[in-house]
Amino acid sequence: MNSIILRTVNMVNRILKPVGAKIISRQADDFNINSAIERIHDHGIRIDSVVDIGGSNGTWSLKAMKVFPAASFVAIEPLVERKEELLRLVRRFPKFSFELCAAGETDGDTATLTIAQDLDGSTINGHGGETRRVPVRTIDAIVAKHNLSGSFLLKFDTHGYELPILKGAKQTLEKTSVIIMEVYNFQISQNALRFHKMCAHMENLGFRCYDMADPMLRDHDKALWQMDLFFCRKDEKIFDHPHYK
């Protein structure tokens, strides 16, 4: 029976492939971002405030709000092109706010933002494309401005600029329970850390990887390109059980 089902699924997937669709197993669905966010709640980790670093148009925050409806949210986004979309979320959700700036190490500084054609790939100190100067705020300063309280969840979609942001979040990290970070398998910029080195760096900061979501293969050769890693505190009860079952 299983072989018949497998052949049927493979046949349907061949039909669906030209339109970019595919039947996947329920187990594969465990690795999408929505399931991974829900597992934070399932693990019993309390989240009071969410800082969405690289907030774009607020889509990610909307996903997290479904799991943490009582939490306060601040999105940090350097692209002024996202302002109107973020303002609409402010009007819809009283506990949502945003800052139009880049997050970084030194509050009040400025940084060079390279603008991607699709906007989503824009990054600090990137290569190619239009550039502009944008204001920089530290996570600690933004948390203080919005009077946010821990336990924090920090989400990073910052394209290799994680280290300066972490340096500007020292006080916030002391009250942070979960960090979700987009990490890479390749050296995407001079100062970026590949995912295995980022795991080691986060352990030095007191956090340990416990989950992952949305692994992506690069177009060039289908090698592993990026994924979202989930870090919690090293003393979290998750690590008390070192067995599979």
Please state which architecture CATH assigns to domain 25-237: 3-Layer(aba) Sandwich (3.40)
- pLDDT over 90 percentage in the chain: 76
Sign of torsion over alpha carbons 102, 212, 127, 81: negative
The DSSP code for 167 is H
Decide the pairing of beta strands 224-233 and 207-217: antiparallel
Would the pLDDT of 202 be above 90? yes
Q: Where are the domains of the chain?
A: 25-237
DSSP 19-51: GT-----HHHHTTSHHHHHHHHHHTT---SEEE
The residue with greater pLDDT, 189 or 62, is 62
* Residue 65 to residues 14, 35, 79, 132, Cα–Cα distance (Å): 36, 13, 22, 31
17 pLDDT tier (thresholds 50, 70, 90) = low
Residue 168 near residue 138 (C-beta atoms within 8 A): yes
Is pLDDT at 78 greater than 70 in this prediction? yes
Report, as an integer, the average pLDDT of 136-157.
97
**Which pTM was predicted?**
0.88
Distance (Å, rounded) from C-alpha 28 to C-alpha 136?
38
pLDDT at 126 over 70: no
Whole-number Å distance between alpha carbons of 178 and 207: 8
Highest mean pLDDT among 5-9, 30-34, 70-74, 119-123: 70-74
| Mean pLDDT calculated for residue range 219-243 | 97
Question: What are 20's two structure tokens?
Answer: 């970019």
Q: What is the pLDDT averaged over residues 55-63?
A: 95
216 neighbors 227 (Cβ within 8 angstroms): yes
Q: What pLDDT shows up at residue 2?
A: 47
pLDDT category of residue 208 using cuts at 50, 70 and 90? very high
- Whether 77 shows a pLDDT value over 70: the answer reads yes
Average pLDDT of the segment spanning 33-59? 97
* Higher per-residue confidence, 28 vs 237: 237
State the pLDDT at residue 112: 85
Given CA atoms 177, 180, 184, 185 in this order, what sign does their dihedral have?
Answer: positive
Q: Can you give the pLDDT at residue 140?
A: 98
